[in-house]
Structure 1
């Protein structure tokens, strides 16, 4: 499936601010089932953009707008070709629980097994698990348990924007009985980790099918969870829509929770109040994209700024960046 994505982020300031420094996690990943055809980043006011790979392997873009400004507009355009993931078995053998407890899995996926940020166990979460009988799912094999967990979260909570915030703990969605994709992903991750199943947060986009039953907002970014099972490796589950992650899902970044991979994050100098607005469009491409893979940075007029490195050059930059990090430790 060939998808075209446009993601517009606008910051409006009540008075001019002196400087803005931003980081972006908006570039779709390159993987076996996801081919990045193009990625274009347009900034207004214009700024020089740099990139690096974070500790989870995500592409991060950062820039500084040093001159005074009362608004900042970030437009990211992507073309991505996705493929369906491999079909999963109906179930796994019960020995998968023992394999999850192996030293290799516990060591290799340490970050995705321990509580972190928004994805952590709380008294309210334990009460919810007891009330809904979720711990009884562990009598099944891990794959079946995770499938049923995703279905249970979908059935227990309504989808409604505005009930929670980006920085809301999971207790807020548990109390309200409703929330958005970010909240449901955090719930699923926290429970999986409590079971000893490595789980990570995925930030990206969804080509929404409202007629097919999708609840998520088609004009927003999307989030879901991936779990690691030794027999299947990483597999994605979307508890917001009660589906497994497939070719309609576009992955941008993975982390321990939302705080690791927000679409944008930054600071500015000034005392003015800020207002954020976001618009997302994900649609099927009208024709095949024949243009070679590229990364480009543009100013608001559409004139190209410094050409981004080729894939091989970018990989080399990322390797050198990791080496520099290791030398500084």
Structure 2
């Protein structure tokens, strides 16, 4: 199945600014579950985007607008082919020994230790005790129980936190957005010795009549490493496992590693940000716009 995804971000300034420098993480990854067949980025005012791959294999585009401007628009268009996700195999108690052997592995170091937004604290410890978070028979069953506990205990509410909110805010009010769900899941899974990482991307779903729908703009979820199954995705904010509709754009330790846009400008102005994502099934002509108006780009 192929999807065409248009991701448009607009920055509006309340006074003229004189230079913008920005990097983008908007190009979907190519891996075993999906292929990015085409990608194009348009910038207004016009600028040339340069590309490189970061240490985690994410594609990063960066550009500079040196002229005076009062708004900035970035439009990224992707064509992505996704494969049907097969359910991971069930695990066994022996998988815990395999995970424990990874504790000192450089390949999994970042996924096992605290990071900026996924770190231990008193609020997290109280939540873990309340949810009775602990290793169970095998890692896969443990992760499914954790996913279920977070999904039931925390309510999704758009705009209830900010992109820079610590997990303590989400845990205190028991509501948050997708990145909060992911950060809580990541922090608790790592405490149990399970390598876990943050994924930014898009959630698209094909309905019975062939339309493409989504619950928000860009999206975020978590992936954990399970012996014998590889990386398994958990979308706790939607109470579902990550599947073919979860289009992966970037992976990182947490949101701080993979914001869709990151930059700075020269001038004295306040910024208003708007984000719009449209997904279209490439084989048809049905389109559903998905919009978000918030600071940052994750739903």
Query: TM-score if structure 1 supplies the norm length?
Result: 0.82
| 1:253 lines up with 2:250 in the alignment | yes
Q: Which residue of 1 aligns with 2:10?
A: 10
Q: CA deviation at 1:140?
A: 2.1
Bigger CA radius of gyration: 1
Mapped contact 1:218–1:282 kept (Cα < 8 A): no
> RMSD value over aligned CA atoms?
1.8
1:228 alignment partner, SS class: strand
Q: CA deviation at 1:217?
A: 6.2
Q: Which residue of 2 aligns with 1:279?
A: 276
Q: CA deviation at 1:30?
A: 0.8
Mapped contact 1:17–1:272 kept (Cα < 8 A): yes
Mapped contact 1:201–1:258 kept (Cα < 8 A): yes
Please list, as runs of the form range in 1=range in 2, the aligned pairs for 1:67-82 lying within 5 A after superposition.
Answer: 67-82=67-82
| 1:98 lines up with 2:102 in the alignment | no
1: CA distance between counterparts of 2:185 and 2:124? 11
Please list, as runs of the form range in 1=range in 2, the aligned pairs for 1:1-329 lying within 5 A after superposition.
Answer: 1-89=1-89, 91-103=90-102, 106-135=105-134, 138-208=135-205, 218-287=215-284
1:152 alignment partner, SS class: helix
Mapped contact 1:50–1:62 kept (Cα < 8 A): yes
Structure 1 gaps, min length 5: 289-329
Q: CA deviation at 1:139?
A: 2.5
Q: CA deviation at 1:107?
A: 3.1
C-alpha spacing 1:224/1:195, structure 2 compared with 1 (3 Å)? same
Structure 2 gaps, min length 5: 286-299
C-alpha spacing 1:142/1:105, structure 2 compared with 1 (3 Å)? farther
2: CA distance between counterparts of 1:285 and 1:71? 31
1: CA distance between counterparts of 2:195 and 2:204? 26
2: CA distance between counterparts of 1:123 and 1:243? 28
Bigger share in strand: 2
C-alpha spacing 1:74/1:103, structure 2 compared with 1 (3 Å)? closer
Mapped contact 1:218–1:281 kept (Cα < 8 A): no
- Measured against aligned partners, the alpha-carbon deviations of 1:127-161 in whole angstroms (never above 9, x if no partner) come to 011112122xx132100000111111111111111
Query: TM-score if structure 2 supplies the norm length?
Result: 0.90
1: CA distance between counterparts of 2:87 and 2:205? 21
1:106 alignment partner, SS class: coil
Mapped contact 2:103–2:109 kept (Cα < 8 A): no
C-alpha spacing 1:248/1:196, structure 2 compared with 1 (3 Å)? same
- Measured against aligned partners, the alpha-carbon deviations of 1:261-308 in whole angstroms (never above 9, x if no partner) come to 0010110000111111111122322449xxxxxxxxxxxxxxxxxxxx
Mapped contact 1:18–1:268 kept (Cα < 8 A): yes
Mapped contact 1:43–1:74 kept (Cα < 8 A): yes
Mapped contact 2:118–2:183 kept (Cα < 8 A): yes
